[in-house]
Amino acid sequence: MKVDLNEILRELSEMYDEDSFDTYVTLYLKKDALDQKFLERREKACRSLLKGDEKKNFTDTMESIREFIKKNVSANIAIFASHKYNVLKTVSLPVEIDNSLIVDSSPYIRPLARIQDEWESFTLVLLSSNYAKIYSLSLGEIEYEKNLSKDIMNRHKKGGCSQARFQRLRKGAIHAFLTEVVEALEKIADKRIVLAGPGTSKIQFRDMLPKYLAERIVDVIDISIDDEKELLKESVRLISEREEKKSREAVQQLKEEILKDGLVAYGAEETLQAVKNGQVELLIVEKDYKIKGWICENCQIVKEGSVKECPYCGGSVSEVDVIEEILEFAERTDADVEFTDDEEITDLGHIGAILRYK
Ligand SMILES: [Zn+2]
């Protein structure tokens, strides 16, 4: 089954309990942490701080989380759960994320958003004149593959028809085969396609693709058909290099927009305002930075800094990472997110956005 992280992040970003700060449990767990004391210790600490319905919800939620973990011990996982809302969402992760257990009014999505940014899914087409394999890769793993092959006449005729007629027939057969591959690809193509194989078939194939698919090709690799393993590694590497380049370009774009006072917001306060209004096209976030802030239980206002009670309505407040709050708004409004460790983002207030409108 295809894991659509975009879809999952969107769903998670829409989960929010207005009545309680302590409804959703988020757990990121390394596979080798399963037999350690991490979970037990955090669970005990959190439980001791909760009361009444919130405590009961936490206990029930942890029970279903434990049940899931027991059956899935062999992966790095992220779990988002709430017994109260009957939610248990789980994702196996391609890399280890620091263990964390968080109890909050909404799922904690930042580490997952970063994985989504760094591990883009793509389609890989490995192709020769009579053989094709199409792979869907997601989170660095093969999720689906389809084999196609056809008996195409050998390059050299063995008698019978004339050389010219033989070549015509052979060309026709190759064209028919590649057409089949195009049709198969149309059904499953991701937003990014890598094309690979020996010789010129892949170029002929590229020229046969409808425009909308041709535009999705991010790389063409010349490689022998036997090197499948090598090819998979190489294509994952290419896609991750491309990701790094994209995040550098995003910071450049942000800088240029700031210089010409264009469609841009930067710094926590301005970016938060823009993302709340649904203005953000592309959000750019410094990788590991957190901004201490608060959210009001009553009016849902989020601000940087710390206060004892909401200065607007006197409601009680809870401490938040302002960047996490911004990310949740971004996912809800279909903004793209780029994580970066470029120093320039630090100087611009750790976070910024390219806007759809102003
Ligand atoms: Zn308030």
Tell me how far apart the alpha carbons of residues 270 and 75 are, in angstroms, rounded to a whole number.
Answer: 39
234 domain residue, yes or no: no
Provide the sign of the torsion angle of the four alpha carbons 228, 234, 238, 243, taken in this order.
Answer: positive
How do residues 76-134 score in pLDDT, each as one tens digit? 899 999 999 999 999 988 888 889 999 998 999 999 999 999 888 899 999 988 889 99
At residue 269, φ and ψ (nearest 5 deg) are -65, -50
How far, in Å, from the CA of 295 to the mean position of ligand 1? 8
Residues with Cβ within 8 Å of 33's Cβ and at least 6 positions away in sequence, in order, are: 39, 99
The pocket of ion ligand 1, defined by CB under 5 A, consists of 296, 298-299, 310, 312-313, 315
Residue with tokens 């060309």: 171
Domain of residue 348, residue span = 246-358
- Which pLDDT value is given to residue 232? 85
255 domain residue, yes or no: yes
How far, in Å, from the CA of 314 to the mean position of ligand 1? 6
The residues with which 92 forms a beta bridge, in sequence order, are 77
**Which DSSP letter does residue 349 get?**
T
Q: Supply the pTM of this predicted model.
A: 0.81
| Tally of domains within the chain | 3
How far, in Å, from the CA of 316 to the mean position of ligand 1? 7
How far, in Å, from the CA of 35 to the mean position of ligand 1? 42
Instruction: Provide the pLDDT confidence category of residue 155 given band limits of 50, 70 and 90.
Output: low
* 130 and 74 belong to one structural domain: no
Say if residue 1's pLDDT is above 60.
Answer: no
The b-or-e profile of 128-147 (16+ CB within 10 A means b, else e) is bbbbbbbbbbbbbeeeeeee
Q: What's the CATH code of the domain at 159?
A: 3.30.420.60
How far, in Å, from the CA of 277 to the mean position of ligand 1? 19
